Structure 1
Amino acid sequence: MSPSRTSTVFERHRPDHAIVRHALAPSRQAVFWTEDAPGDHYPRLRGDVGCDLAVVGGGYTGLWTALLAKREDPSARVVLLEGKRIGWAASGRNGGFCEASLTHGEENGRTRWPGEFDELQRLGMVNLDEIESTITELGLDAGFERNGAFDVATEPHQVEWLWEAAGPDAEFLDGDAMRALVHSPTYEAGLLRRRDSALVHPAKLARSLARACADAGVEIFEHSPVESIGDGTVLETPTGTLRSKRTALATNVFPSLLRRNRLATVPVYDYVLMSEPLSASQRASLGWEGRQGIGDSANQFHYYRLTADDRILFGGYDAVYHYGGRVRASYEDRPETFQRLAAHFFTTFPQLEGLTFTHRWAGAIDTCSRFCAFFGSAREGRVAYAAGYTGLGVAATHFGAKVMLDLLAGRTTERTELEMVRTRPIPFPPEPAASLGINLTRWSLDAADHSAGHRNAFLRTLDAVGLGFDS
């Protein structure tokens, strides 16, 4: 018999609807980060151009790939093509959590690659350290803060999960200790991770990386969507053709130019609110002196953080897949989700009643069935790709860029020898099976959150065949 359904703290202590309505009234559908980081503009690709390396995609994966390639070989002609503007999609609208994990957390990594998990952890920390050192070396204005992070339990059954995750660099905090550091009545316990997490300003990171690329000699073209990849690596855009010796595909959630990857990822929409700046008294009411990023431990989890001007970004919980797996701007406005997020915000911080939100937005996550990035090559090694970061890619994209450059160079490295790099996720089925399976998974995860964490038969089956997810 399955456990009976119980309410969560966000249902037991739901704020009055008038508080939510007041808070959302001045908000507008816009991405705070990109408004706060006006970037340079780059021309369209025109005519017929040749290069040594073409990079398709102007998000983190593409930008790191172009920059690292140019630093490796300054004489190479490297061209980056972006369909709209640099960093306008996931790289400019995420929460700004820069996590060391390459496997979307310990549970996912240990389950899928138990024999190499310790090596993946080591490489993840090296990767985060390299990002920090590059930002420092190049003086990138990226809002980088190596503050660590809190994982918090908001239900009693989650406390044991945090206790079991404690270790040399992760300190368990009981409820009193956690609430003393960040003043939320929802906290049952916490886990302070000191070294494996940082914060960035997402759009500033993307646009400062673009400037670093341009300074290094990378040629960047915006508003140049690649419509096809022809014989070898001939890339066709509406206004020009790019002929490259090698090509790195960094297209994230958008349909792959390679047929083999068309069913490897699906777009899942994630939603975010940004508050107005806190007053001095509001800021003092929170504690939160270390400015760590915070995420709770539910399957449908929230993440939140402070900005440089003491706003609070609050996102997560709903993760919405739309039938057909398309990326559409109309999916970004979902009033019921923004109302739910605002209600959960005031359950988390009831002392902030009266605070309002200025921005609300959403973005599509490139989700794959193993919940972390996959890699590969095609066209006799002349094309490489990295995709499927599943919402934890801010740091992992730097690793993905290095993997693609290894593959394109045909070299064997500690990265290319990893089973994680050499294997692919199970593809999603076509519709209607994809929609049925994804939405049943989401329903089941919500049921587990309402059943003291107990996973139903469907989730246990997914776990048994290697498709389970534990956030």
Structure 2
Amino acid sequence: MRNTRGEANGRRRWPQEIDPLIELGQENLDDIELAVADLGLDCQFERTGTIELAIEEHQVQWLHEENTDENTVFLDATAVQAEVASSTYLAGVRFRHKCAGAIDTSTRFCAFFGQNRGGRISYAAGFTGLGGGAAHFAARVVLDQLAGRTRERTELAMVRGRPFSFPPSRSHPLEFRPPGGRSTAPTTTGENVIRYSRASTRGGSASTPRREVSAQQ
């Protein structure tokens, strides 16, 4: 579920599409494994999965409840010790290779998609540090969009919707434009623009201000 930054995030944001999202996530992992083999990439690809650990007695029951499909295996205390060799949690992780640098993100903490120039440009951004796994799925979405192909993945709400913008900062202040007036603060991005207008009634009184934002969930 790297495509949605974990199953919990996917269920919270797209509960009606969680089943196809899980299936497409598994398909994406299969495709990555095939690509590694076909291209002869010199890397250490392992389908290791993840482990959720119980460090309190009441958490053991929670783990039992999560053991719901063939891809989930419950490990008792002995089995966990064989995996992590720690009485409480992982003692440490050793990395043979490291990478670092700025990452892009979005308010939903996983990739969003868009098109420009009449569909001649497609893009994906906002991977929030998980591009290594999710970029393969995103590339297939973008290629389908550019080719004009309608697939299950191109019709997902995750692909068709857009996240809200982050609140403005000092470098990108919020611009307020009262009706017929000048903006009260400069801005360098159109995403941080909020306009307020009042719709007058026949009696001359003003209604509640209407707030307009450019981004969609």
TM-score by length of 1: 0.33
Is 1:425 the counterpart of 2:179? The answer is no
Give, in angstroms, the shift of residue 374 of structure 1. 0.7
| 2:53 partner letter | V
Instruction: Select 1:170's aligned residue among 52, 61, 72.
Output: 72
Is 1:184 the counterpart of 2:86? The answer is yes
Which structure is richer in relative contact order (CA contacts within 8 A, separation 6 or more)? 1
Give the distance between the partners of 1:142 and 1:171, measured in 2 at CA.
Answer: 27
| 1:410 partner letter | G
| 2:169 partner letter | E
Larger radius of gyration: 2
Higher strand share: 1
Tell me the SS of whatever aligns to 1:102.
helix
Structure 2 counterpart of 1:119: 20
Is 1:149 the counterpart of 2:149? The answer is no
| 1:132 partner letter | E
- Gaps of at least 5 residues in structure 1 are 1-99, 188-293, 295-301, 306-311, 314-357, 435-466
The 5 Å alignment of 1:49-448 reads: 100-154=1-55, 158-167=59-68, 168-187=70-89, 305=93, 312-313=94-95, 362-432=100-170
Tell me the SS of whatever aligns to 1:405.
helix
Tell me the SS of whatever aligns to 1:385.
strand
Give, in angstroms, the shift of residue 181 of structure 1. 2.5
Give, in angstroms, the shift of residue 115 of structure 1. 1.1
| 2:82 partner letter | A
| 1:115 partner letter | Q
Higher mean displacement: 405-414 or 368-377: 405-414
Distance 1:364 1:158, change over 3 A: farther
Give, in angstroms, the shift of residue 176 of structure 1. 3.8
Higher mean displacement: 163-172 or 128-137: 163-172
Give, in angstroms, the shift of residue 128 of structure 1. 0.7
Distance 1:101 1:382, change over 3 A: same
Give, in angstroms, the shift of residue 182 of structure 1. 1.8
1:440-459 Cα distance to aligned partner (Å, 9 max, x none): xxxxxxxxxxxxxxxxxxxx
| 1:117 partner letter | I
Give the distance between the partners of 2:63 and 2:137, measured in 1 at CA.
Answer: 27
1:295-325 Cα distance to aligned partner (Å, 9 max, x none): xxxxxxx9x65xxxxxx13xxxxxxxxxxxx
Give, in angstroms, the shift of residue 157 of structure 1. 6.2
| 2:117 partner letter | R
Distance 1:359 1:386, change over 3 A: closer
| 1:411 partner letter | R
Distance 1:406 1:361, change over 3 A: closer
Give, in angstroms, the shift of residue 433 of structure 1. 11
Give, in angstroms, the shift of residue 137 of structure 1. 1.4
What is the CA RMSD across the aligned residues, in angstroms? 2.9
Tell me the SS of whatever aligns to 1:366.
coil
Distance 1:161 1:430, change over 3 A: farther
The 5 Å alignment of 1:10-29 reads: none
Tell me the SS of whatever aligns to 1:386.
strand
| 2:114 partner letter | G
Give the distance between the partners of 1:368 and 1:163, measured in 2 at CA.
Answer: 33
How many pairs are equivalent?
172
Structure 1 counterpart of 2:206: none
Q: Is the 8 A contact 1:101 1:125 kept in 2?
A: no
Give the distance between the partners of 2:134 and 2:54, measured in 1 at CA.
Answer: 26
Tell me the SS of whatever aligns to 1:150.
coil
